[in-house]
Amino acid sequence: MAKELTSRSENYSQWYNDLVVKADLADNSAVRGCMVIKPYGYAIWEKIQAELDRMFKETGHVNAYFPLFIPKSFFSKEASHVEGFAKECAVVTHYRLKNDPNGKGIVVDPEAKLEEELIVRPTSETIIWNTYKGWIQSYRDLPILVNQWANVVRWEMRTRLFLRTAEFLWQEGHTAHATSQEALEETERMVNVYATFAEQFMAVPVIKGAKSANERFAGALETYCIEALMQDGKALQAGTSHFLGQNFAKAFDVRFATKEGKEDFVWATSWGVSTRLMGALIMAHSDDNGLVLPPKLAPFQVVIVPIYKQADQLDAISEKVKEITAKLKALGISVKYDNNDTKKPGWKFAEYELKGVPVRIAIGPRDLENGTAEVARRDTLEKQVVSMDNIETFVQNLLDEIQANIFNKALKFRSEMTTKVDTYEEFKEVLQNKGGFISAHWDGTPETEQQIKDETKATIRCIPFDQVPEEGQCIYSGKPSKGRVLFAMAY
C-alpha cells in the first residue's frame, strides 16, 4: 500500500514533515531537536557535498578540521559574535560519569568538573582565528583559504527536520587575507559559487544580495546571501557569505607583516551552507505524490521495474535490463533495477514516485516482443512508450530536460510570486493573501525594518545585487529610498 502524504493545499507544513519521513530522508531522534539522516537522505547530502567540495577546490580552497569544542571565554572576545551565538548552545561542564552510589545507573561525577566550560561549536570563527594566530606572521602566509565539513549545534527551541535542527551538518569556509578588497572579492566569489550550485545542481533559482544590518551574521561587516522561494510563498535563506573585516583578527590578535614592512590586522571572510539545503531542495520541487529530485542530485536517476507473471518472463526481462543498464552506466547514468519479488509493480511505482526518482522504466513481456519500454518522468508524471534501441540516449536527454524543466518551473513560480508594491497597505495585503517576494522601497534604517517585522513578521531577505537604481519612498516611513529591496516571510 502506498504511503499517503498530506496534500500541500491541506497543510503545507504537515506535507513537508510527512514527505521527509515517508521518503526515508530523515527522522526525529531520541535526542531533542537532533535528527537522524537516513541513508536515502544522506545519499542526496553526499551528492551535494561532492559537488560543493569540487567547486571549493576549483576556487583554490583546501579542507581542514578544527575542534568540536570551544572554550567559553573565546566567545566573549568578539563583542557582537557573543550576542549572536553564545547563548543557545550545548555546554560541556564535566568530563566523567560514575556509577551512582545509590545503585541507580550512572551519574555525573561532581569531581570531574571542567575548570572552564566548553561550548559545542555553533560556528567556528573563534577557535579558527585563535588557530590562525599561529599560522600567520607575514603576507607570505596569506591568503589562507580553508574550508571545514563539520557538525555544529545551536540549541533551537522549535525544530523542523533539515530546516532547523539543534545539530546540523554543514561546511564553513574561513579565509584570511592581506587586504580588505581581497576579502570582499572572496566573499562575493563564494556567494556566487553557492548561487551557481543552487541553480545548476539543485535546480533552485536564487536571488543574490546583501543582508540588511539587522539580518547580518553576528560579527560581520557585510553578509551576502542567496534566497530561494518555496512553494508556500515563504523565502528560505540557502547560503551566506560574510565579510568579517578585521573583527576576528582584532579579537584574537592576528597581525601580519605587510609587503611594505608595516604591521596590520588580517582580513577575514566566512561562508557556509548546511543540511538546510535539503529542506530547500525538498520544498522547491516536490508535489503531493512525493519528492521530485533534480537528476544531478538524485541518489539514482533511473529505476527499472520489471512487469511479469512467471519466473521465465522475469528472466527474459532481466537479461534485457542487464544490457540497458550497461548502456546507461556507460553514459554516467545511475540505475537501480528493482526485481524484488515480494512487491507488486504498482507498489514500486508509488514508492519511487514518493522518492522522487527522475526516470522510471517499466518493461513487460509485450515490451520484449515489441522492442519497447515504458518510460515515465517524475516531474510531469508523463509516460511514453519508446524503442529500446538507443533508449540510453533518450534517457540521457530526458534527464537533461527534467533538470531544466524543474528549474524553469521554479523560476516561473518565483517570477509570478514576486510583487512590486508601493504602499504599506498593499504590502500587507500581498503578504497576507499572496505571499512570495515583495519588492518595495525602504528607507535603509534598521528601525523601519524592525517595525515592519514586528507588525507583519516579514523581513528584508536581501538588497539584491541586481537592484535597479530607482528613486522612491519607503513604504513605511515615506522617507526617500534609492532602490527596492526584497521582503518576505521566511523559514
Pick from 5, 19, 20, 35: which binds a second copy (CB under 8 A)? Answer: 35
As measured in angstroms, the least distance from the Cβ of 42 to a second copy is 5
Q: Which stretch binds a second copy (CB under 8 A): 123-131, 236-244, 348-356, 377-385?
A: 123-131
Q: Are 177 and 186 in contact, with CB atoms under 8 Å apart?
A: yes
Which of 34, 490 has the CB closer to a second copy?
34
As measured in angstroms, the least distance from the Cβ of 354 to a second copy is 17
Q: Are 413 and 436 in contact, with CB atoms under 8 Å apart?
A: no
Q: Does 62 bind a second copy (CB under 8 A)?
A: yes
Q: Are 328 and 335 in contact, with CB atoms under 8 Å apart?
A: yes
The three grid cell numbers given for residue 481, joined into one nine-digit string: 529610498
Q: Does 79 bind a second copy (CB under 8 A)?
A: no
As measured in angstroms, the least distance from the Cβ of 35 to a second copy is 7
C-alpha 231/C-alpha 451 separation (Å) is: 27
Which of 277, 485 has the CB closer to a second copy?
277
In DSSP notation, 256-279 reads EE-TTS-EEEPEEEEEEEETHHHH
C-alpha 275/C-alpha 158 separation (Å) is: 17
Which of 195, 303 has the CB closer to a second copy?
303
Pick from 52, 146, 238, 282: which binds a second copy (CB under 8 A)? Answer: 146
Under DSSP, the state recorded for 30 is S
Pick from 73, 370, 384, 390: which binds a second copy (CB under 8 A)? Answer: 73
Total of residues contacting a second copy (CB under 8 A): 63
Q: Which stretch binds a second copy (CB under 8 A): 113-121, 308-316, 416-424, 428-436?
A: 113-121
Q: Which stretch binds a second copy (CB under 8 A): 89-97, 185-193, 359-367, 455-463?
A: 89-97
Which of 335, 376 has the CB closer to a second copy?
335
Residues with Cβ within 8 Å of 448's Cβ and at least 6 positions away in sequence, in order, are 442, 474, 476, 477, 479
Q: Does 13 bind a second copy (CB under 8 A)?
A: no
Pick from 4, 13, 95, 312: which binds a second copy (CB under 8 A)? Answer: 95
The strand pairing partners of 207, in sequence order, are 227
Pick from 8, 18, 20, 42: which binds a second copy (CB under 8 A)? Answer: 42
Residue 235's closest CA among 13, 105, 418? 418
Gap between the terminal Cα atoms of the chain: 33
Q: Does 151 bind a second copy (CB under 8 A)?
A: yes
Task: Please name the helix (run of DSSP H) or strand (run of DSSP E) that holds residue 360, with its range, or none.
Answer: strand 359-363
| CA distance to 211, 212, 414, per residue, from 464 (Å) | 9, 11, 15
Which of 74, 491 has the CB closer to a second copy?
74
Cβ atoms within 10 Å of 447's Cβ, excluding its own: 11
Pick from 19, 23, 127, 391: which binds a second copy (CB under 8 A)? Answer: 127
Q: Which stretch binds a second copy (CB under 8 A): 130-138, 233-241, 430-438, 446-454?
A: 130-138
Pick from 2, 55, 90, 316: which binds a second copy (CB under 8 A)? Answer: 90
Q: Which stretch binds a second copy (CB under 8 A): 10-18, 68-76, 346-354, 472-480?
A: 68-76
Q: Largest Cα–Cα distance of the chain, in whole Å? A: 83
C-alpha 330/C-alpha 323 separation (Å) is: 11
The strand pairing partners of 36, in sequence order, are 27
Q: Does 118 bind a second copy (CB under 8 A)?
A: yes
Q: Does 303 bind a second copy (CB under 8 A)?
A: no
Which of 105, 469 has the CB closer to a second copy?
105
Tell me if the bond preceding 71 is cis, omega within 30° of 0.
no
Q: Are 171 and 273 in contact, with CB atoms under 8 Å apart?
A: yes
Mark residue 53 as left, alpha or beta (left: phi above 0; alpha: psi -120 to 50; beta: remaining): alpha
**x/- track of binding to a second copy for residues 318-357 (CB under 8 A):** ------------------------x---------------
Which of 148, 403 has the CB closer to a second copy?
148
C-alpha 291/C-alpha 3 separation (Å) is: 13
Residue 34's closest CA among 98, 110, 120, 107? 120
Q: Collapsing DSSP states into helix, strand and coil, what is residue 425?
A: helix
Which of 2, 90 has the CB closer to a second copy?
90
Q: Does 64 bind a second copy (CB under 8 A)?
A: yes
Residue 130's closest CA among 196, 209, 69? 69
Q: Does 136 bind a second copy (CB under 8 A)?
A: no
Cβ atoms within 10 Å of 168's Cβ, excluding its own: 23
Q: Does 169 bind a second copy (CB under 8 A)?
A: yes
Q: Which stretch binds a second copy (CB under 8 A): 64-72, 200-208, 289-297, 483-491?
A: 64-72
Q: According to DSSP H, which parts of 267-364 are helical?
A: 276-285, 311-330, 345-354
Q: Does 70 bind a second copy (CB under 8 A)?
A: yes
Q: Does 37 bind a second copy (CB under 8 A)?
A: yes
The footprint of a second copy (CB under 8 A) covers 27, 29-31, 34-39, 42-43, 45-46, 62-76, 82, 86-98, 105-106, 108, 117-120, 127, 130-131, 134, 140, 146, 150-151, 153, 155, 167, 169, 342
